[in-house]
Amino acid sequence: MPIDVLIVGQGLAGSLLAWECINQGYNVLVVDSGEINASQVAAGLINPVTGQRLVKQSGVDYLLPTALTCYAQLSAKFNQLLFKPLPMLRILKTPLEQQSAQKRLNQRDYHGFLSIGKDVSTSLVAHHGILQQTQTGYLNTSALLGLMRKFLIENASYQQSVLNYAEITLQPRLSWQSICPKHIVFCEGHHGMQNPWFGNLPFQPAKGEILHCQTTDLLQQHIFNFGQWLIPTGDNQFKLGASFESGKTDTDTTQRAKQTLLQALSAVVPGLKPIEVLNQQAGVRPTTLDKQALIGSHPQFGNLHMFNGFGAKGSLLIPWYARQFVKYLFQQTPLPAQVNIQRYYETHYIS
């Protein structure tokens, strides 16, 4: 079978890109080491309004519908609910956040996303108020990746292997081992920093740790956002995260991160007891210098590409960008300038 696209890495970016390629009629092969990746650890949170100043994600009017449609299609395909919409309670921590909340509530284009938090539990400690956010929820990334892996294996589109860059031949034709794809797309997360063709791009990886917890208390069916976040996952269990360590690329869990997360939760929900930590995981977010994704082609080898750098917002961003990227590969549709890696070559950031 001829391969149109060889995709390196089966995290969320590689999986959703493979899904989009297949939907558009192209043959893919996904090569993955089989090791746990950051997407399997990630909470899959979708939150269109973020930061202390409560800024709406640019392009959310097309990003969000595309993501929800994609996850609905995948849920139907695999007969399993993969995205769960849940409202979010944003506990305002500072006077600045309170001022920002009031400003956004008065802006018409935020009305579909924000409202004053009413009829919420009085057990929450929120000295500066509570904002209710809608059009939020979470993607079960671990389940999705497992289902996609099984699907790809059944369709002879998956190979578990540690790809050796030295085995890629560029001339006289692109090949890896005995495979001659039209394109190779690297979706390697923070491991992209070791890529010989794209490793000079300005990655800024950040380690994050997440706790999987259980309590005997009845949990509200809201996501809590208080600098960290709590996501109820059913059966009185929840995820609590995430720590943030810029520049760290190890995946060792630490007692320090565990205590920091639990103390942050206790400060805003002091009555939530007892809490049992069932599991602790660490992953590395593939964040970037300008907080924009890294998408595009190598300036010299035009059939080598990168689809990476989505950071903590991958669940929201990747479906739409995967669709644009497939059009770019096969229909020569231009990529959005803000994510095209050409921005670094044109500014001479990379020599």
Q: How confident is the model at residue 298 (pLDDT cuts 50, 70, 90)?
A: very high
Please determine, for residue 346, whether its predicted confidence score (pLDDT) is greater than 90: no
Q: What is the per-residue pLDDT across 200-230, written as a single tens digit (0 to 9) for each? A: 999 999 999 999 999 998 788 899 999 999 9
**Average pLDDT for 271-294:** 94
With 90 as the cut, is the pLDDT of residue 271 above it? no
Q: Rounded mean pLDDT of the chain?
A: 94
Contact 83, 141 (CB under 8 A): no
Q: Quick one: DSSP state of residue 218?
A: P
Rounded Cα gap, residues 302 and 112, in angstroms: 42
Map out the domains of the chain with their CATH numbers: 5-42+142-202+289-346 (3.50.50.60), 45-139 (no CATH), 206-285 (3.30.9.10)
Give the CA radius of gyration of the chain: 21
* 122 pLDDT higher than 70: no
Whether the predicted pLDDT of 351 surpasses 60 = no
Rounded to an integer, the average pLDDT of 265-271 is 93
Report whether pLDDT(350) > 70.
no
d(CA 45, CA 37): 17
pLDDT in tens, 171-189: 999 999 999 999 999 999 9
- In this predicted structure, the answer to whether residue 348 has a pLDDT above a threshold of 90 is no
What pLDDT score was predicted for residue 345? 85
* pLDDT at residue 293 in the model: 97
State both tokens at 67: 């993501």
φ/ψ of 120, rounded to 5, equals -105, 165
Three-state secondary structure call for residue 176: strand
Report the share of the chain in percent with pLDDT over 90. Answer: 88
pLDDT tens column, 306-335? 999 999 999 999 999 999 999 999 999 999
Angstrom distance (rounded) from CA 149 to CA 286: 21
Beginning with the edge strand found earlier in the chain, give each strand of the sheet holding 83-85 in spatial order: 45-46, 137-139, 83-85
Contact 70, 46 (CB under 8 A): no
Taking a C-beta distance cutoff of 8 angstroms, is the pair 276, 215 a contact? yes
Return the half-sphere exposure (C-beta side, CA atoms, 13 A cut-off) of residue 152: 29
pLDDT digits (tens, 9 = 90+) for 59-118: 999 999 999 999 999 999 999 999 999 999 999 999 999 999 999 999 999 999 999 876
* Cis previous bond, 242, omega within 30: yes
Whether 1 shows a pLDDT value over 90: the answer reads no
Q: How confident is the model at residue 347 (pLDDT cuts 50, 70, 90)?
A: low
User: Which pair of structure tokens corresponds to residue 165?
Assistant: 């860059």
Residues 244-254 pLDDT 10s: 999 999 999 99
d(CA 185, CA 134): 35
Task: Give the DSSP H or E segment for 143.
Answer: helix 141-154
Q: Which pTM does this prediction carry? A: 0.95
pLDDT in tens, 20-71: 999 999 999 999 998 878 888 889 999 999 999 999 999 999 999 999 999 9
